[in-house]
Amino acid sequence: MKRELREKRTEMEALEGRADVERKNNEILRNLERTNRKRWEFLGELKGKLSFYEAYGEDGNLAKQLASVDAELTELRKKLPSPNELEFRKQMVEACIAGLACDRLKTLDVDPRYTRIGPRFSYNDLTIRVTGSDNAEHILAEIGSASNWLSFHLAIVCALQEFFATQRPDPLPVPAFVVFDQPSQVYFPHGYQEGDDFASYANSEDMKAVRKIFETISQSIKATDGAWQAIVLEHADQSVYGDVDSVHEIENWRDGDKLIPKNWLENGPEN
């Protein structure tokens, strides 16, 4: 009896082996197995989703929350301007900033060919585009002259702050102050050395151009009734900006005095 069972088992294993070989060699069987496997996977996913629907479906809390969010979105969309209106508003803002910048350019040292039409600040690529007297638009790389570059940037910064001032007291994510670091750099007179007395250069064309920088910033701030502040770090001294309205000298770091006090360097800030 045992011998017959062993023989039957051996015969069954041989048949199973032949079946495996047939499956491997038979493309139809392989496709059928793949199809069956995908069916079981689909049935498993379907069962899971049905369970989720039963728990959170039309009668569940999730559906109510989704309906509430959809209603809120609908109300918010009503408050948003249409694409055409939004584009129109952007163009109006651009034109306003260009007009304000054009006013500031008139008191700066810039090629007069570019003072008739205000420079345009491109919010898409954060660049400045200027239009000359020939009505041709140029990027700054085509203009040249460090004084032109400085003037365009200074005029745009002032114009932006003046525009932002018209939007307050509504909260804006923009600080109402700007720090200018050595705007006179492009105007250092020929032969100037660190520590030289600026008074000896005060009547030069370069220093007159530097004075225009302080005057322009002052005029911009006064135009907003003091709504923004400029902090200027400069080598120029009182001989250049001393009598410019609204300019207040806070500190004069000369003769060894610096932003970081000597005793901090020697003993640390706590001493």
All structural domains of the chain, each given as residue ranges with its CATH number in brackets, are: 2-79 (no CATH), 83-267 (3.40.50.300)
pLDDT at position 90 over 60: yes
Q: Is 182:236 a contact under the CB 8 Å cutoff? A: no
Rounded Cα distance, 181 and 105, in Å: 19
Q: 160-177 pLDDT, tens per residue?
A: 999 999 887 776 788 999
pLDDT at residue number 71:
86
pLDDT at residue number 229:
95
Tokens of 201: 């250069």
Rounded Cα distance, 63 and 256, in Å: 72
Could you tell me the pLDDT band of residue 6, with boundaries at 50, 70 and 90?
A: low
**Which residue type does 265 have?**
L
Q: Which residue has the higher pLDDT, 113 or 197?
A: 113
Rounded Cα distance, 198 and 249, in Å: 15
Residue 79 phi/psi, 5-degree rounding, is -85, -20
Q: 34-75 pLDDT, tens per residue?
A: 777 788 787 878 787 777 666 665 555 666 777 788 888 888
Could you tell me the pLDDT band of residue 239, with boundaries at 50, 70 and 90?
A: confident
Q: Which residue has the higher pLDDT, 117 or 6?
A: 117
- Residue count (the chain): 271
CA dist list (Å): 231 to 42, 54, 101, 182, 207: 67, 64, 19, 11, 19
Could you tell me the pLDDT band of residue 25, with boundaries at 50, 70 and 90?
A: low
Rounded Cα distance, 151 and 251, in Å: 26
pLDDT at residue number 186:
84
pLDDT at residue number 154:
96
How far from the centroid of its chain's Cα atoms is residue 89's Cα? 20
By percentage, how much of the chain surpasses pLDDT 70? 77
Tokens of 35: 């199809």
Q: Is 128:140 a contact under the CB 8 Å cutoff? A: yes
CA angle 211, 101, 167 (to 5 degrees): 115
How much is the mean pLDDT over the chain? 81
pLDDT at residue number 180:
95
- Helix axes of 83-105 and 205-223: crossing angle, nearest 10 degrees: 140
Rounded Cα distance, 254 and 260, in Å: 12
Q: 178-232 pLDDT, tens per residue?
A: 999 989 888 875 556 665 666 666 667 888 899 999 999 999 999 999 999 999 9
Name all contacts of 17-22 with Cβ < 8 Å and 24+ positions apart. none
pLDDT at residue number 27:
64
Cβ neighbors of 233 (< 8 A, separation 6 or more) are: 179, 180, 181, 182
Predicted TM-score of the model (pTM)? 0.65
CA dist list (Å): 69 to 57, 60, 61, 72: 16, 15, 13, 5
Q: Which residue has the higher pLDDT, 226 or 260?
A: 226
pLDDT at position 105 over 80: yes
Q: 124-135 pLDDT, tens per residue?
A: 788 888 988 888
Exposed (0-12), middle (13-18) or buried (19+): which is 206, by Cβ within 10 Å?
middle
pLDDT at residue number 160:
95
